[in-house]
A and B are shown apart, each in its own frame.
Chain A
Amino acid sequence: MSQVLRYPEPGKPVDFGAFVRTMGGNGGLVVQPRMGLCVPEDMRAGLAATKAAAATTVGTITLDSYTRVGDLRAADTALREGIGLNGYPIVNHTKSTTRKVLAGTWDHDFPVQIRHGSAVPKDIFKAMMALNLNATEGGPVSYCLPYGRTPLADSMRNWEECCDLFSELIETGVEPHLETFGGCMMGQLCPPSQLIAMSVLEAIFFVQHGLRSVSVSYAQQTNMIQDIEAVFALRRLCAELVPTENCHVVIYAYMGVYPTTPDGAYRLLGQAAELAVTTGAERIIVKTKAESKRIPVVAENVEALEYASDVASRSTPPAPGYLGEDSETYLEASALVQAVLNLDPDVGHALLLAFKYGYLDIPYCVHPDNMGRTRSYIDERGWLRWSETGSLPLAHLVEKRAAKKATSGDLLRDLQYVRGEFDCAAWAPGMLYAERS
C-alpha cells in the first residue's frame, strides 16, 4: 500500500508505520533484524551496520531479559559490575547514552523499533517516550501468556495504561507505532487461524487505546500454501475490522526449532521473504544462519538482511487489492475474532472473557489463565492442524478427528518437522517456491 511519505516537522521522528507502508508492499519489503547489545558502542555499531546493509532496513534495539521482567536492580548491578546482558538496558542507561547510540543512524530514512517482551512495560514506555522513540511492539496477551505467570488481567491493565500513555505522544506531534506480537504466540505449533485472530484482536485493542499507527504480525509456520492463505486472511480481517488506515503486516521468519545447516537456514529465511512479498506484507523480521546455535553477531544479521531482501526482489506481489478467498484459515480466524468481539465492546475485557470461556485457547501454553484444552499437529501434507479444539467456537468449521493422545515422541517430531524439511531439502537455497512448484 504505497503512499507518499509525509515528513514530520523538523526534530520530530518519522512515523514507523508510514515509513514501512511507503517502502514496503507492492513488491517492496522492509527488512529488520533482531538485535540487542548491552554495550552502547556495540549497539550503535549494530544500528550503523543495519542501516548500511544493501536493503531497505529499519533498526532494532532489543532489550535485555532483566529489563523485560522489570528487575531494574539486577540490570543495574550487571551494568556496574560489567556483567554482560543479553540486550540493551534502555531504562538503566542514561538518556544521553541512548541519544549517543542513536546519533547518526536514527532519522527519517531509518526508523528504529524498541523490542522487549514485557508484561509489565511501563518503565520501558516511559524511557522510550523521554527520547521520542516512537515505535515498539507487544500486546496484553502475546507478551503475557507464553512467557510466565503474570495474571492476564494484570497484563491487560498494564498494557491499557501503557497504550494510553504512549498515545499521548500524538499531542506533541509525534506518531507512536505499536506492533502486535499476537501472530507469534508460542513460536510454533499454534494453528494459523488463532495466530491471526490474536494479531487482529490486539491491533483493535491498540486502536481502542488511542494508537493510529499499528502493525500486525504473523510468524511463518510449517507449510507455504497454508501460510499464504493465512497472511491474506490476516490482511483481509485487518481491512474489515481494524479501524485505521495506517496498518501493515510484518512476517517473522520461522520462530521454532531452526535448521542447523546454513543452507537449511537460508532456504527457510528465503521462503519467509517470498511469503511476505507474495501476500503483499510490507516488513519482515529475519533469522540468521546462527539461529540454531547462539545469538547472531552483527555481520550474520547483515548477511541475513541482504539475503532476505534479494529473495524479496525476485518474488512477485499479488494484484493490487487482492485479499484472498474465503479460505479455511480465513473462515476459522473470522469465527474466532467475531466470537471474541461479541463478548464485550471493550476488546481488553472481551479478551479476558475469551480466555476464561476457552473461546481463545493456545495449544500447549501452560499459563494458569489459558484453558489448555486445545492441541495441534502437523498433517501428512505439512499443514498445521487442530487435533483438539476444546471450547473454541470452531465446531462447525474443523473436521472432527478421532482423538488419539499425542505422545512425547509425536510432539518432538512436530517440533522438529521444519528443521528436518529444510535441512534435508534438495533444492538450492534462494530458489523461489513459485519456481519449484
Chain B
Amino acid sequence: MNVGNDKSTVTYLPGCSPFDQRPPEKKETVVVTSMASDSHTWNLVFLQLLIEELGFEVVNLGPCVPDEILVDECRDIDPVMVVISSVNGHGHQDGLRVIEQLRACASLSATPMVIGGKLGISAGADTTHLDQLVTAGFDAVFEDGITGVAEFKTFVASIPAGTPRRLQVAA
C-alpha cells in the first residue's frame, strides 16, 4: 500500500514502510473568544475542549479581548468558525458592537459566527435582544436556559458541509 515513492527498489515488511503512515490529519481552526468587558474563563475552556472533541483545532483568545485584537486575530487566523462566549450580562451590547466590526472585514463576511452564554442582565422570556444579534450578523445565538450544548453541537456539525465561505474557497 505504498502511496509515496512508486519507483523505490527498497522493500519493506508489511506495515513498516514510512510511506504507509498517513500524514497527520490537518484540522480546521475555530476561534473561541470572550469580549472586552468579560473576565470569565471557565466557559471558554469548556468550549475549547468541546470543539476539539468535535474534530477542530481551537485558538482560544481568552477573557477580556479588546475589539481590535479580536478582529485582527480572526482576520489573521481565517477560521472556519468564530465562537463568542459571554456570561457577565453585557454580551448583548458587546456582541452587537463586535459583530459589526467582524462582518466589515471582507474575508470574514461569510464566516460562520455564533454567540452564546448569559447575554443579558435579566433572565426571562423576552428574546428580542437575541433576534437583534441574528439580524446584526450572527448565524446563531445560544442563550443559557433557552438553547444548550446539544443545539450548539448540531450547529458545529453542520459547519464543514459547505458553508458559504468554504464554497467560496473551493470555487
Q: Which A positions have Cβ atoms within 8 angstroms of B? A: 65, 69, 117, 146-149, 186-188, 364-368, 406-408, 411-412, 415
Segment of B42-50, B77-85, B106-114, B159-167 engaged in the interface with chain A: B42-50
Segment of B9-17, B22-30, B58-66, B95-103 engaged in the interface with chain A: B58-66
* Residue in B41, B48, B49, B62 whose CB lies within 8 Å of A186: B41
- Known contacts A407-B49, A407-B53, A408-B49; is-contact A147 B63 (Cβ 8 Å): yes
User: Which residues on A sit within 8 Å (CB–CB) of B44?
Assistant: 366
User: Which residues on A sit within 8 Å (CB–CB) of B60?
Assistant: 366
B39 touches A148 (CB 8 A): yes
Beta-carbon nearest neighbor of B88 in chain A: A65
User: Which residues on A sit within 8 Å (CB–CB) of B62?
Assistant: 148-149, 366-368
User: Which residues on B sit within 8 Å (CB–CB) of A411?
Assistant: 45-46, 49
- Known contacts A69-B64, A407-B53; is-contact A147 B39 (Cβ 8 Å): yes
Instruction: Check if B104 is an interface residue, CB within 8 A of chain A.
Output: no
Beta-carbon nearest neighbor of A410 in chain B: B49
A149 touches B41 (CB 8 A): no
User: Which residues on B sit within 8 Å (CB–CB) of A65?
Assistant: 37, 39, 88
Instruction: Check if B157 is an interface residue, CB within 8 A of chain A.
Output: no
Instruction: Check if B69 is an interface residue, CB within 8 A of chain A.
Output: yes
Q: CA of A408 to CA of B64 in the docked complex: distance in angstroms?
A: 22
User: Which residues on B sit within 8 Å (CB–CB) of A148?
Assistant: 39, 62-65
Beta-carbon nearest neighbor of A186 in chain B: B41
Q: Which B positions have Cβ atoms within 8 angstroms of A? A: 36-37, 39, 41-42, 44-46, 48-50, 53, 60-66, 69, 88
Beta-carbon nearest neighbor of B60 in chain A: A366
User: Can you name 17 A-B pairs with beta carbons within 8 Å?
Assistant: A69-B36, A117-B39, A148-B39, A148-B63, A148-B64, A149-B61, A149-B63, A149-B64, A149-B66, A366-B44, A366-B60, A366-B61, A407-B53, A408-B46, A408-B50, A411-B45, A412-B46
A149 touches B46 (CB 8 A): no
Q: CA of A69 to CA of B63 in the docked complex: distance in angstroms?
A: 12
User: Which residues on B sit within 8 Å (CB–CB) of A187?
Assistant: 42
> How near does chain A come to B61, taking the closest CB pair, in angstroms?
8
Q: Which 7 A-B pairs have the closest CB atoms?
A: A148-B64, A408-B49, A366-B62, A408-B50, A147-B39, A366-B60, A364-B45
Beta-carbon nearest neighbor of A65 in chain B: B37
A365 touches B64 (CB 8 A): no
Q: Which of A147, A186, A188, A407 has the most CB of B within 10 A?
A: A147
> How near does chain A come to B92, taking the closest CB pair, in angstroms?
15
Q: CA of A102 to CA of B69 in the docked complex: distance in angstroms?
A: 40
Beta-carbon nearest neighbor of B45 in chain A: A364
User: Which residues on A sit within 8 Å (CB–CB) of B88?
Assistant: 65
> How near does chain A come to B52, taking the closest CB pair, in angstroms?
8
Q: CA of A412 to CA of B45 in the docked complex: distance in angstroms?
A: 10
Beta-carbon nearest neighbor of B34 in chain A: A148
Q: CA of A411 to CA of B53 in the docked complex: distance in angstroms?
A: 13
Q: CA of A148 to CA of B39 in the docked complex: distance in angstroms?
A: 6
Beta-carbon nearest neighbor of B59 in chain A: A366
- Known contacts A149-B65, A407-B49; is-contact A365 B41 (Cβ 8 Å): yes
* Residue in B42, B53, B64, B65 whose CB lies within 8 Å of A415: B42
Q: CA of A65 to CA of B53 in the docked complex: distance in angstroms?
A: 34
User: Which residues on B sit within 8 Å (CB–CB) of A365?
Assistant: 41
Q: CA of A368 to CA of B69 in the docked complex: distance in angstroms?
A: 13
User: Which residues on A sit within 8 Å (CB–CB) of B37?
Assistant: 65, 69
Beta-carbon nearest neighbor of A188 in chain B: B42
Beta-carbon nearest neighbor of A146 in chain B: B41
Q: CA of A148 to CA of B70 in the docked complex: distance in angstroms?
A: 12
> How near does chain B come to A119, taking the closest CB pair, in angstroms?
10
User: Which residues on B sit within 8 Å (CB–CB) of A186?
Assistant: 41
Q: CA of A192 to CA of B93 in the docked complex: distance in angstroms?
A: 38
Given contacts A117-B39, A146-B39, A146-B63, 12 further A-B contacts (CB under 8 A): A65-B39, A65-B88, A148-B64, A149-B61, A149-B62, A149-B65, A365-B41, A366-B61, A407-B53, A408-B46, A408-B49, A415-B42
User: Which residues on B sit within 8 Å (CB–CB) of A367?
Assistant: 62
User: Which residues on B sit within 8 Å (CB–CB) of A188?
Assistant: 42
User: Which residues on B sit within 8 Å (CB–CB) of A364?
Assistant: 41-42, 45
Q: CA of A406 to CA of B45 in the docked complex: distance in angstroms?
A: 12
> How near does chain B come to A255, taking the closest CB pair, in angstroms?
11
User: Which residues on A sit within 8 Å (CB–CB) of B49?
Assistant: 406-408, 411
- Known contacts A408-B50, A408-B53; is-contact A147 B45 (Cβ 8 Å): no
Beta-carbon nearest neighbor of A257 in chain B: B42
A149 touches B39 (CB 8 A): no
> How near does chain A come to B39, taking the closest CB pair, in angstroms?
4
> How near does chain B come to A143, taking the closest CB pair, in angstroms?
10
Q: Which of B41, B48, B60, B65 has the most CB of A within 10 A?
A: B41
> How near does chain B come to A187, taking the closest CB pair, in angstroms?
8
User: Which residues on A sit within 8 Å (CB–CB) of B50?
Assistant: 408
Q: CA of A54 to CA of B41 in the docked complex: distance in angstroms?
A: 36
Q: CA of A146 to CA of B38 in the docked complex: distance in angstroms?
A: 11
A366 touches B46 (CB 8 A): no
Beta-carbon nearest neighbor of A189 in chain B: B42
User: Which residues on B sit within 8 Å (CB–CB) of A415?
Assistant: 42, 46
Q: CA of A187 to CA of B53 in the docked complex: distance in angstroms?
A: 25
User: Which residues on B sit within 8 Å (CB–CB) of A408?
Assistant: 46, 49-50, 53
Beta-carbon nearest neighbor of B52 in chain A: A408
User: Which residues on B sit within 8 Å (CB–CB) of A149?
Assistant: 61-66, 69
Q: CA of A147 to CA of B42 in the docked complex: distance in angstroms?
A: 11
Q: CA of A187 to CA of B45 in the docked complex: distance in angstroms?
A: 14
Beta-carbon nearest neighbor of A119 in chain B: B64
